Amino acid sequence: MKSYNSIYYLLFVLLIVGAFASMAQNSYGLTLLGAVALSFGLLFLYQFFQTFKDSEGKDYSLQAELISLFLISILFALRMYHVYIPFSELLFAIAGFVLIFVYVKKMLQRYGILASKNINAARLSLVYHLSLILFIISLITAPLLPQLYAYFGILAFILLVGFLIAGLLVPKYQ
């Protein structure tokens, strides 16, 4: 996973450039956002296939996470290019629920590991994962329950800001 960090960095920079270009109503903004979403999707799919090369123990939660991220990225790319496929909202919701399940599992595992070493780091990890889970819930509920998604997004953002402030102000989380 760490070997892909430079590609992730480049794609995030392109995502930000595309978002600002789109906000400035430049014609290439949405095209760039679609290309970035498609690139993320293909990268997640490639990583998914790389997990089958490991002859040791299979990490099914990693495979579920990667295939869900692939589906969400591809659906975002299709949306950027104004391509609609039937039941795309259902696919999006299923992929989102799988991601929620995976991240709840990771949250509980990391909290258990960190709680014995440093309870403050464990709590900080809990806040981070809860923020991530609430963002995913916000994404899932946007097409299905449009009156609720903003509340989940706001709560997730508040938790994320709290996570960042706590991480910057209290340096003793090792």
Computed over every residue of the chain, the mean pLDDT equals 87
pLDDT mean over 74-100: 91
At 173 the pLDDT is 57
CA 35/CA 160 separation, integer angstroms: 27
Residue type, position 25, single letter? Q
- Mean pLDDT across the stretch 89-107? 93
What confidence score (pLDDT) does residue 174 get? Answer: 55
- Of the ranges 29-38, 120-129, 134-143, 163-172, which one carries the lowest mean pLDDT score? 163-172
| Predicted model pTM | 0.85
Cα(70)–Cα(93) distance, rounded to whole angstroms?
Answer: 13
Report whether pLDDT(22) > 80.
Answer: yes
Has residue 155 got a pLDDT over 70? yes
